[in-house]
C-alpha cells in the first residue's frame, strides 16, 4: 500500500464515528473515559465482543451482521487495515460495530473488569520462534488479561491455520487447568463447530483453503 493511500485512510479514519484512536500515554495514565463505559458508546446494554488483531475487520463485520443483539469492537494497531471494516460498517449502517486502534497488550487498561462477554482471535501471527513467545496472543500473560476483562461466562475463540498455534494453545490450556469447551483440528472436515466459524471467511482464510491448509478452532474459558 502506497504512503499516499495510507495517509488518506488515516485521515478518513479520523472522521469516522465508529473509530477510536486513544493516545498510548493517555491509555497508560488511565485517561480513557470509555473504560467501564463502553455500553454508553453503543447506547445499549448488549454484550460486548472483541476481535483482537482484526486486520481488515472482515470477521468483526461478519459477526456483527449475524448477531445484531451484540456489540463488536475490532482491535488492531494498523488503522490503514481496519479502515475497510470501519467504512463497510458505515456503508451498511451497522451501529453495533466499532474499531479501536491500539496495541493488544493494553486491553486491560482500556476495558474494565468483567466488561467483555467474548473474545475472538482470528488467524494471529503464531510467532513460532521461541524468542517471540511473549508476542503469542494465547500466552499466559495475554490469558491473564483476558481473564480480567471477561465476565464469568465469557469465552475466547481461536481460529487459525497454524497447527503450531493450535497445539501450543491446547497444551497451555490443559497445563493451566482451563476449560476447553470445543476443539477441532479441521473445521471444514469435522462437523460441530459454531456457525460463526463456518459462515465467515476472511480473504486470507480463503487463500489457505485453496492451498488445502486445514483451519483449526478452539473455544475455551479462562475463569
Contact between 16 and 89 (Cβ < 8 Å): no
Which residue of the set 23, 125, 144, 186 is catalytic? 125
Report CA 86 to chain centroid distance, whole Å: 14
- 125 carries an active-site annotation: yes
DSSP structural state of residue 162: -
Give the cell for residue 180: 476447553
d(CA 186, CA 117): 26
Give the cell for residue 88: 463497510
Contact between 209 and 134 (Cβ < 8 Å): no
Phi, psi of 114 (to 5 degrees): 65, 15
- Residue 4 burial (10 A CB sphere; 0-12, 13-18, 19+): exposed
- C-alpha to C-alpha distances, 206 to 140, 141, 146, 165, 211, nearest whole angstrom: 30, 31, 28, 19, 9
d(CA 81, CA 93): 20
Catalytic site positions: 125
Amino acid at each position: 500500500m502506497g504512503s499516499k493511500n495510507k495517509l488518506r485512510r488515516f485521515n478518513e479514519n479520523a472522521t469516522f464515528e465508529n473509530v477510536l484512536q486513544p493516545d498510548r500515554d493517555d491509555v497508560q495514565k488511565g485517561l480513557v473515559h470509555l473504560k467501564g463505559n463502553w455500553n454508553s458508546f453503543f447506547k445499549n446494554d448488549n454484550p460486548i465482543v472483541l476481535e483482537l488483531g482484526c486486520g481488515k475487520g472482515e470477521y468483526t463485520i461478519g459477526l456483527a451482521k449475524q448477531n445484531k443483539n451484540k456489540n463488536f469492537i475490532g482491535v488492531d494497531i494498523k488503522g490503514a487495515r481496519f479502515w475497510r471494516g470501519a467504512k463497510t460498517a458505515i456503508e451498511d449502517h451497522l451501529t453495533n460495530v466499532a474499531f479501536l486502534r491500539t496495541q493488544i497488550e493494553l486491553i486491560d487498561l482500556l476495558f474494565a473488569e468483567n466488561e467483555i462477554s467474548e473474545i475472538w482471535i482470528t488467524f494471529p501471527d503464531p510467532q513460532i520462534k521461541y524468542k517471540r513467545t511473549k508476542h503469542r496472543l494465547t500466552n499466559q500473560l495475554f490469558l491473564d488479561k483476558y481473564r480480567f476483562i471477561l465476565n464469568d461466562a465469557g469465552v475466547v475463540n481461536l481460529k487459525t491455520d497454524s497447527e503450531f498455534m493450535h497445539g501450543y494453545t491446547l497444551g497451555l490450556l490443559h497445563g493451566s487447568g482451563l476449560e476447553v469447551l470445543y476443539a477441532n483440528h479441521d473445521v471444514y472436515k469435522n462437523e460441530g463447530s459454531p456457525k460463526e466459524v463456518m459462515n465467515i471467511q476472511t480473504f486470507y482464510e480463503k487463500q489457505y483453503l485453496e492451498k488445502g491448509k486445514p483451519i483449526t478452532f478452539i473455544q475455551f474459558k479462562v475463569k
